[in-house]
Amino acid sequence: MNNKSKNESNIYQQIGDFWSFQLNNEIYLRNHPEIKRGTKEYFNIILDSRKSFIYYFPSMISHLKKAPKKTLLEVGCGMGTDSFVLAKNGFDITGIDLSAGHLELAKKLFRLFTQKGSFMKGNAEILPFPDNSFGCIYSYGVLHHTPNTENSIKEIFRVLLEGGRAVIMLYHKWSLNNLVHCVLKEGFENVKNDIDTPITYRFSKTEVRNMCSDFKSCKIKTEYLYGPGWGKIYSATPKPLYFALSKIVGWHLVVYLEK
């Protein structure tokens, strides 16, 4: 293996190790230190919290339900909470992730609630599936953490059926959240011991459209001004103001795709 290959291998290992160490959904449990990881109570709190904070989840599900088949790949499935919701909505779930820690929890979640799903270790830039394998693909808050986001999107296009649907969420460059992080020079994730994820890109809508140019249809919506990491500021923000600003300077670019 040459030095370039070693360096590429190392960065993917670093990313996988970081997300095994940093279980991102546990931000929802910061007021529940007594809850044991991997229990039904643990997962229920996270599922309920995501339903509240990710208010546009029904729109994503609605888009995916228009696909020709309900076979769904989640690229970067994490601990499987979104896959679980999608499975409850009738999708046949396959999840891949670089993080062994997250995959272990995803499998446990599906076992605990007797839900069917398949999970495996995999790299978003080299999806281990043949062309035209899935009717739907979902990737939420993941592809801005991989070295080559554009390659990952091309892989999603490759394994998606003709007429298939995909939803991708990427961080928005021109957002209030990004501005605050840059000014304060803080990490972009809910980090422990000041260790941040190795890679975090932020994109403009134009950059996202260029990366998604292979798709027949690409619609981008700006959502999610900020979340639980903002603590009392989030709670104190009037909801009409929050939703209005989310459409302008939201942190999430939600990309609705059709092949």
| pLDDT tens string 88-103 | 999 999 999 999 999 9
pLDDT for the residue numbered 1: 43
- In Å, the largest CA–CA distance within the chain is 55
Quote the pLDDT of residue 77: 97
Give yes or no for residue 36 having a pLDDT over 90. Answer: yes
| Number of independent structural domains in the chain | 1
Q: pLDDT tens for residues 48-84?
A: 999 999 999 999 999 999 999 999 999 999 999 999 9
Check pLDDT > 80 for residue 3: no
Give the residue with greater pLDDT, 255 vs 235: 255
The dihedrals phi and psi of 57, each to the nearest 5 degrees, come to -55, -45
pLDDT of residue 4: 45
Query: CB-based burial of residue 177 (10 Å sphere; 0-12 exposed, 13-18 middle, 19+ buried)?
Result: buried
For the segment 122-149, what is each residue's pLDDT rounded down to a tens digit?
999 999 999 999 999 999 999 999 999 9
Question: Each residue of 235-249: b (16+ CB within 10 Å) or e?
Answer: eeeeeeeeeebbeeb
| pLDDT tens-digit map of 172-182 | 999 999 999 88
pLDDT for the residue numbered 193: 55
178 in a domain, yes or no? no
Is a pLDDT exceeding 80 seen at residue 211? Answer: yes
Q: Could you tell me if residue 126 is inside a domain?
A: yes
Nearest to 78 by CA among 105, 55, 54, 58: 105
Residue-level pLDDT at 137? 98
Q: Within a domain: residue 248?
A: no
Confidence of residue 186 (pLDDT cuts 50, 70, 90): confident
Higher pLDDT, 249 or 231: 249
Instruction: Spell out the residues 6+ positions from residue 110 whose beta carbon is closer than 8 angstroms to its own.
Output: 80, 83, 84, 87, 116, 117, 119
Domain membership of residue 182 (yes or no) is no
- Quick check: is 181 in a domain? no
Query: How confident is the model over 100-121, as pLDDT tens digits?
Result: 999 999 999 999 999 999 999 9
Residue 227 lies in a domain: no
Tokens in use for 195? Answer: 């260790």
Per-residue pLDDT at 18: 86
Domain residues for 64?
Answer: 3-170+199-220
Q: Is residue 189, in this structure, part of any structural domain at all?
A: no
Mean pLDDT of the chain: 92
- Band of pLDDT at residue 31, cut at 50, 70 and 90: confident
In a domain, 60, yes or no: yes
Percentage of residues in the chain with pLDDT exceeding 90?
A: 80
Q: What does the pLDDT read at residue 192?
A: 56
Q: Any idea what the CATH number is for the domain that residue 156 is in?
A: 3.40.50.150
Flag whether pLDDT at 194 surpasses 90. no
Supply the pLDDT for residue 165.
98
